[in-house]
Structure formats: C-alpha cells, structure tokens
A = this chain, B = another copy of it.
Amino acid sequence: MARSWATLGVDLHLEPTGPHLRRGLTDALRDAVRGGRLAPGTRLPSSRSLAADLGIARNTVADAYADLVAEGWLTARQGSGTRVAGRTVVPPTGAAARPPERHRPLYDLRPGSPDLASFPRAEWLRAARRALTAAPSDALGYGDPRGRIELRTALAGYLSRARGVRADPERIVVCAGFAHGLRLLATVLRARGVRTIAVESYGLDEHWRLLASTGLTTVPLPFDELGADPGKSTGPGAVLLTPAHQFPMGVPLHHDRRAAVVDWARRTGGLVLEDDYDGEFRYDRQPVGALQGLDPDHVVHLGTASKSLAPGLRLGWMVLPPDVVEDVVKAKGGVDTSGVLDQLTLAEFIVSGAYDRHVRAARTRYRRRRDALVAALAARAPAIRVTGIAAGLHAVLRLPPGTEGAVVRAAAYQGLAVDGLVPRYRHPDAVTEPLDALVVGYGTPPDHAWSGALDALCAALPFGANGSGIPFPG
C-alpha cells in the first residue's frame, strides 16, 4: 500500500517497507526537490505533522530531513522551519554527445586484432582461480609500479626462452599494452631532452600521432626489401622498429640492418625501441630472436598480450636498460598501473604452460587462415602478389599502381572493411615511393565468416576470378 504525501500538495508515494521507510522517504523527498516538484523556498511541514500524516514515527521524518539538510537539498533554520534549499538545482544538460554509431561492415579484414572468439576463456578462468587462491593478501594492495613480481618473473623466463630476450624481472615494467609503454618511453625521452625519434617509413599512424602528442618529431627511415635503413643517421635520440616482422610490410629486419641499428645506438647513446607485437606468430621458420638480445643496454623490448591473447586484457611489458627503469617508473607516477588480478592470472597462465599451448594452437589456426587466403588469391586473383606472410596476423596484397583507393571502395561496396596501405600505414614524410597495396588482417573474422570475407575480398580485387574486379590500368 502506497501512502500519498498529500500534505505537500505533491503526489508522492511511499512504500511502507519497514526499515527502508526512512530511506524511501529521503529518496522521495530528494527526487521531488530535484525534479522541481518542490520549489526552492517551499516550507516543509513539521516532522511531527508529516509523521502523523504518513502514520510513521516522527524520528523517521526528522532523520530524513536531517539527511537532506546535510546533503544541501533542504535548509533548517531556527524559527523558520525546514525549507527547500534556495538554489535552483539545475538538471544536467543531457548525456554527452554520443559518438555516431559507425556503420558496421559485414566483414572486417582490417589488421590489429587477434581472433577474439578463440580467447581461452576456460583456461584463463582456471588460471585466475589458481592465481587468486594462491596470492597473498598483500598482493591486492597498492603494489610495485613495475607490476607484480610474479608476472615479471614469469615474463623474464618466457621472453628469454621464447624470444631470446635478456630479461631480468627487475628490469621489466608491466604496462597496459604497447601504446601505453610507448607513451611512457616517449615521456622519458622528452624529459631527457630528446626531440626526434626515427620510425619506419611504414608503420601505424596511431603510434606516430601518440609520439607527436608527447612532443617528439617522427622522422621516417628509408625503407627497402631489407627493412628500415638506419644509415649513418646521428640526429634522432631514439628509433622505433618492428625488427621481427615489420609492420605492416612483413619483412624481418635484415641482419646487417640489425647490426647497424645497434651500432648506431652505441655510437650515439640513442635508445632503440623494439616493438615485438607478434613475435610469437611465425610460420615458416623459427621465430627471429629479439633484437634486444644483441644489446640490452641500448634496446627496449616491448611486448604485448594484445595479439597473443586479447587486447581487452590491457597487458603489455617492457624490458628496459637498467638506467631507464627508474625513469619509466617515475613517468607512471604510481597512477596508471594494471589490475593485479589479471597480472597474477597471466603469470600463472605462463608458468603453467597454458600460454605456450595457446600460442601453439593459435599459430596453427592462423597459419590455416593464411594458407586459405593465399590459396584463394592464387585461384581467384592470381595477378596479386601477397607478401609478408611468413609471420603475423596480416598480409600485404600488392596492387597495380593507382588502384588502391578504388579497390578499398570496391571492397566497401562488397560489405568488406579493408585498409589501403598509404592512408594509415605510410608515414607522411616517407621518401620511399608509395606502394599501392592492401593490408589484410586475417586474425579477426570468426571462423564462420572467414570464407565470406575471402569471397568479398577476391571480388573486389583487380582480375578477380569472378570478373567483377578492377582491371590493371594500361
């Protein structure tokens, strides 16, 4: 039975729910003030008279009034009773502008994400249970800004074993993915007076923007079939590279270039940032070991769980030269640290061998997808050269000059989102001749959508077997 609050001339109803009565009264009264049904300045009935009206204890009303006075909705003055506070409570001006819903393509072959459907949920939950059960209570407190020691130890073992990284838990800092690590390092570089960082002519525009936002100028290195060429450059204080598997072009950095980069760093005291985003996924030969192994005093090794597990984990790591560790910790400021439960779970996931098993299974799955992509293109768009397929989760499809934009639009017409090379992946200041190409990520589509995505891709390509493609010009 609802009780009407006739005394106030407003149509309020109170559920007489025993111990919640005071709460209900407080809420109802607050809502009435907030919504304008009780105007500023309105004098409320005395607690005695309202209590009688409502058939409840006077104290309940007095308590509710006191709560609302404390919150600023009501005022209580000796001699003038309890009144609605004199300020107008302005309703919020509405929800923040929502970003417009982007039209969702039927198929999405843009690179950057692994197959999220194959995230090992059950294994992860088992690891979480073991990790949280075993963790000391202290682990749940404010922790080491470098990250949990369990995870840093597990990573040191794994990276040394699987990637040839010279890793010591004391020099590892856990971060919220590669971009977070890059921003921290950029902050450190800026604080050291570095103004310029060399990058590859092909890369990810988001990273260049991120570096620019911290005040670093990005200068693209010349690029050829051996990878980026550090040349005799002495200008920049740092260089950002993807040595194991150039993103997005797919070549590993040639050993001469690896040597030259390390030489450059030693000669100039510069810092090499090694983005090892998908070092685990190499199909046709053993993984290329980490560049960091050549010179752990001049190379920062950056890795991430975003490709091997899922971006949503927001877990990455940096293996740092000794003199950089404290600066990075300072840049973090104890503020933007990762949740310990996921850190402990990933540590357990690695140490238990689940990570290796997952990576092996994923490698097989991606390799199968890559093979299907290569086979489909060979059969249906044989003029298209596919490169960068020895590793990773994406391939580069070389297109006839001048056709990139048209192919991307033709793909969109097929309901397929796919990225052209030039707009997102070619540095605006690159001197290398622009190539027409697609960057095709094959990690993302769920298995059931994979053949449809391939059909759409082939149909959009020049010389597609179904004849719908754009012919080579000239």
Contacts and interface: CB of A to CB of B under 8 A. Distances in A.
A259 interface: yes
Contact of A258 (B72, B137, B326): B72
Copies of the chain in the assembly: 2
A90 B96 CA distance: 54
A73 B183 CA distance: 31
A133 interface: yes
A143 B312 contact: yes
B259 A72 contact: yes
Contacts of A138: 116
Contacts of A340: 312-314
Nearest to A170: B95
B166 A71 contact: no
Interface in A153-168: 164, 166, 168
Given A288-B70, A312-B139, A342-B341, A335 B93 contact: no
Contact of A295 (B90, B291, B342): B90
A208 interface: no
Given A71-B293, A116-B138, A259-B85, A168 B311 contact: no
A291 B72 contact: yes
A26 interface: yes
Contacts of A312: 139-143, 339-341
Interface string A88-130: 0110111111100000000000001100110101001100110
B92 A140 contact: no
A116 B141 contact: yes
B294 A73 contact: yes
A297 B164 contact: no
Contact of A262 (B87, B116, B335): B87
B179 A72 contact: no
A427 interface: no
Interface string A169-186: 011000011011001000
Contacts of A339: 176, 312-315, 338-339, 342
Contact of A92 (B166, B289, B314): B166
Interface of A: 22-23, 26, 30, 34, 63, 66-67, 69-73, 75, 85, 87, 89-90, 92-98, 112-113, 116-117, 119, 121, 124-125, 128-129, 132-133, 137-143, 164, 166, 168, 170-171, 176-177, 179-180, 183, 206, 210, 213, 252, 255, 258-259, 262-263, 266, 285-286, 288-289, 291, 293-297, 306, 310-315, 320-323, 325-326, 333-342, 446
List the 6 closest A-B pairs by CB distance, nearest first: A312-B340, A96-B325, A140-B310, A140-B312, A72-B258, A71-B289
Given A70-B289, A87-B262, 19 more contacts: A67-B285, A67-B286, A67-B289, A69-B255, A70-B255, A70-B288, A72-B255, A73-B294, A93-B322, A98-B170, A113-B142, A116-B138, A121-B133, A183-B333, A183-B336, A206-B334, A210-B333, A210-B335, A313-B341
